[in-house]
Structure 1
């Protein structure tokens, strides 16, 4: 799966997703592309699952370029855990 080789800090501040991307929204390589319809985060597992599904469908007839990289770690609380950190 994709992840950065070395980072200075293990976790990153959450930040905010603002608007749609201006750069990287056009097809650079090939004839077909998959484009998102909503703003959001995508994980390395989602990228890997889509790559496997595309390759299985194409059966070595073409080439797949992945132009996104999951460099932002996204964490979540486990199930049945209270909000915050208190008792």
Structure 2
């Protein structure tokens, strides 16, 4: 099914019992994350953590984005599905890490945030 673009409004609020991991990377603005951006972030986390810590991804790209081929005239319906995205609200948790030192987690999340098109914040659960 071909989805519509839509708008991303509001703030995502989390209950304290949902945050079971120690280190959290949250968004500070709404936006769209592609599957490639989430995969690039996952590769950084898995490469650096190896077996000493565990991570969890809280977003999933489930919305299809259609695109028409180049040099095609207007009309004739919507284009074919090109890629998939995940809509994220401000304050939504993207990634969480457990069993890792705070300094390592912060440097990891800085590297991950370079791969994302939206602004993020690092939080340490106390």
Give the TM-score normalised by the residue count of structure 2. Answer: 0.48
2:41 aligns with 50
Whole-Å separation in 1 of the counterparts to 2:52 and 2:74: 52
Q: In the alignment, does 2:37 pair up with 1:36?
A: no
1:62 aligns with 53
Q: In the alignment, does 2:13 pair up with 1:22?
A: yes
Q: Which of the two has greater strand per residue?
A: 2
Whole-Å separation in 1 of the counterparts to 2:9 and 2:65: 17
Whole-Å separation in 1 of the counterparts to 2:68 and 2:14: 33
1:51–1:27 distance in 2 versus 1, CA, 3 Å: farther
Paired residue total: 75
Whole-Å separation in 2 of the counterparts to 1:68 and 1:44: 10
* Segments of 4+ moved more than 3 angstroms: 75-79
Q: 2:74 aligns with which of 50, 62, 85?
A: 85
Structure 2, unpaired ranges of 5+: 76-126
2:63 aligns with 72
